[in-house]
Each structure stands twice: as C-alpha cells, then as structure tokens.
Amino acid sequence: MEVKQVLHMNGGLVATSYANNSLLQRKVISMTKPITDEAITELYISMNAPKDLCMAELGCSSGPNTMAVATELVKTVRELCRALGQQPPEFRIHLNDLNGNDFNSILRDHLPKFQLELRDERSRGGRVSPCFVSAVPGSFYGRLFASNTLHFIHSSYSLMWLSKIPKEVELLNKDNIYMASASPRQVIHAYYNQFRNDFSTFLRCRSEEVVSGTGRMVLTVLGRRSEDARSKECCYIWELLALALKQMVAEGVIEEEKLHSFNIPQYTPSPTEVKEEVEKEGSFGINHLETSEISWAAWGKGFHAAAAAEPDGNNVSGCMRSVAEPLLSERFGESVMDQIFDKYSKILCDRLAKGEEPKFVNVTVSMTRK
C-alpha cells in the first residue's frame, strides 16, 4: 500500500481530530513567522506592484493551522500596499494535501473564518482586493500546479513524510517502527536514500511551478541537529510508541508479524542534509537555513502559557494519535486504537514524570527560485 493512500491526519472536529490537537504545530508556525514575513515582504517588493499574487500551502491538513500563513500573507501584503500607496493585488491561494485529507472541514469550518477575518479588515478601513481559495488534492511528490505560476510556497511539518517505506526497512527493521539505535545500518541508509529521492523530486516539481527569478519557498520540517539519523532528538517519540505496541504483542492483542513489518514513513533530516539536496538540485538559492526547537510541553492547552507548562503525556499522546491513527488503524485495526493510545499515554506520563524534557527540532529553509 502506498503511503499516499493511507496517510492523513484525523479529520473533523472530534476530540481525536488534528484540528483539536495541533497546538504544537501552530506554535512552530508562529516561531518561524519572522522568516516567513521576511520572505513575503521581499517577494512583494521584488515583484514591483503586481496585479496578482499566487500562494500554495502544501500539506495544509485540516484545522486552525490550514490557513494561518495564507492569512498572514494577505495581511502583510495589504499592509505593504497601504504603506506604499499601491493597489493590493488579487490573491490566489491553493490548499494542498493528500486525497484522504478532510477538505470538507476546511471548506465548511475553516474557510468561512478566514473570509470573515479578511472582511473585518475592510470594516477597519484597510485596502482590500479579492482572494480566491482552491483545494488541490494530490501528492507534493508530483506536479500539482501549472508551470511558472506560483509566487510563494509555504509548508510546515509535512515534508518529513516520505512517499513510501523502502523494502529493506520493511524486511530488516523488525523490532523498531522507525530509525532506532538498534536499527541495522542498511535500514538507516534506506530511509536516507528515500528522503533524498523524495526531496529532490519535490524540488524538481516545484522548480517548474515557481516563478523564475522572484518566487519564494519557506519550508519547515521536523528534523534534527545531530548528523546521526538515530539520534534520540528525532527517534524517541516513535521508540515510546513502539514500546506500547510491543506490550500489545506480549498481551496477544496484536500479531507480532504485523508489528515486524510496520514502519513510520518519515525521515527527520539535519540542516546539512537539507542544504545538500537543495544545492544538488540547483533550482533554488538558500536565503536562510535555521534550526529551532520546541518542547513536548508545548502540546499543552494554552497558546501563550504552554511554553512554560508541565509536559503532559496525555496531550502528547493525543497529538500523536491525531497524526498517526490512520496509519496504525490500517495495519492493526480500529478496534485496538484506544488500547494502544492508553498504553502510550501511560508510558509518556511515566517518562515525563521522571523529569525528562524532550524537545522536537525544526529545520526551516527559506529559498528563492533562481
């Protein structure tokens, strides 16, 4: 089964939905806002009072984060137009994700909020212009848009997902579900090669679509600082899920065979690995390449207070469920999902109670099409 047929975040607005469990990802978008704002500002100025501006959000999912950067783009450009005494451009905004994404919730719940927020600007006397939004289902590891039509691409926490699990990983990574300290060397190589193939395909496709000379792209992926792909900073979250799954095998609830060939289709690259692929593909010049980190505690409830909040294993497990449940449920069946995530919550609560303070590392790259 190809990843694109199975992978999607939990849809709707239910308790286990991505919409209700993606505060950490929202904070990452806020943390990288200065880089995004700079790219948008430089783009607009280099375009010399454009009549239209076209943006794509890749891996947009469905929830409050879906339109966060599109909203910023429209506001920032309108603000610039006000300051420069120019007529704002018409905006075209494309929202992309895999076919299984809950696009209905975007159109029904999130798009109206976006439209309302931008309409409010009109009542505050802001200069306004039309904004056309469309949904574009499909994999970003293929062409999605017409040649030379996009001015700005944004993507956050999406490009670490691979297009497939390499055969060697399925055969050799038996006791792990991701790269782990105990994974054979061939497994690490296979994951890395898949990342290189996928990321270079992504860059090649976008190079056709982004306007030459001016178009910008800001990508943030879950990554690592270390050059060791088995480093705890990127693997620990999945190692703890593997523990929960192994407990289920020991209890006879899930079959060992099914666990042995189950692997997470992700690769969390280092900044050096990202840089190497961008330079090798050659169509984009790097303006910024940065790492940042965010504590697992940021999965707490409040937007502002959570950075200092106590890490809560239940919140971490809730977020991971909203991301990984479709993959797990396809392999092990829907009926065992509550049990898996109860065990995972207990393991996480236990580790965090012992004073561990795990963090995720984000790698952000801002580029211009040559």
Ligand X SMILES: C[S@@+](CC[C@H](N)C(=O)[O-])C[C@H]1O[C@@H](n2cnc3c(N)ncnc32)[C@H](O)[C@@H]1O
Binding site for ligand X (CB under 6 A): 4, 7-9, 22, 25, 29, 59-61, 65, 96-98, 101, 139-141, 156-158, 161, 163, 323
Q: Of 157 and 262, which has the nearer Cβ to ligand X?
A: 157
CB of 265 to ligand X, least distance (A): 8
User: Quick one: DSSP state of residue 157?
Assistant: S
Q: Of 176 and 322, which has the nearer Cβ to ligand X?
A: 322
CB of 162 to ligand X, least distance (A): 8
Q: Of 81 and 241, which has the nearer Cβ to ligand X?
A: 241
Q: Of 254 and 323, which has the nearer Cβ to ligand X?
A: 323
Q: Of 61 and 176, which has the nearer Cβ to ligand X?
A: 61
The Cα–Cα gap between 54 and 68 comes to 16
β-bridge partners, 154: 57, 218
Q: Of 201 and 247, which has the nearer Cβ to ligand X?
A: 201
CB of 96 to ligand X, least distance (A): 6
CB of 355 to ligand X, least distance (A): 28
CB of 158 to ligand X, least distance (A): 3
CB of 179 to ligand X, least distance (A): 18
Specify the amino acid at residue 75.
K
The closest of 10, 33, 4 to 22, measured between CA atoms, is 10
β-bridge partners, 96: 58, 136
The two tokens of residue 185 are 């060397």
The Cα–Cα gap between 101 and 137 comes to 8
Do residues 139 and 163 make contact, with C-beta atoms less than 8 angstroms apart? yes
Name residue, tokens 């106590």: 310
The Cα–Cα gap between 252 and 356 comes to 30
The Cα–Cα gap between 248 and 227 comes to 33
CB of 65 to ligand X, least distance (A): 3
The two tokens of residue 15 are 């308790």
Which residue lies nearest ligand X, judged by its C-beta? Answer: 59
Specify the amino acid at residue 70.
A
Q: Of 106 and 248, which has the nearer Cβ to ligand X?
A: 106
Three-class SS of residue 80? helix
Three-class SS of residue 200? helix
The region that residue 292 occupies, defined by phi over 0 for left and psi between -120 and 50 for alpha, beta otherwise, is: beta
CB of 29 to ligand X, least distance (A): 6
CB of 205 to ligand X, least distance (A): 11
Do residues 191 and 228 make contact, with C-beta atoms less than 8 angstroms apart? no
CB of 200 to ligand X, least distance (A): 14
Q: Of 158 and 173, which has the nearer Cβ to ligand X?
A: 158
| Beta-strand relationship, 284-295 and 359-369 | antiparallel
Residues comprising the chain, all counted: 370
The region that residue 75 occupies, defined by phi over 0 for left and psi between -120 and 50 for alpha, beta otherwise, is: alpha
Three-class SS of residue 113? helix
Q: Of 68 and 245, which has the nearer Cβ to ligand X?
A: 68
- How does 89-103 read in b/e, with b if 16+ C-beta sit within 10 Å? bebbbbbbbbeebbb
Q: Of 7 and 39, which has the nearer Cβ to ligand X?
A: 7
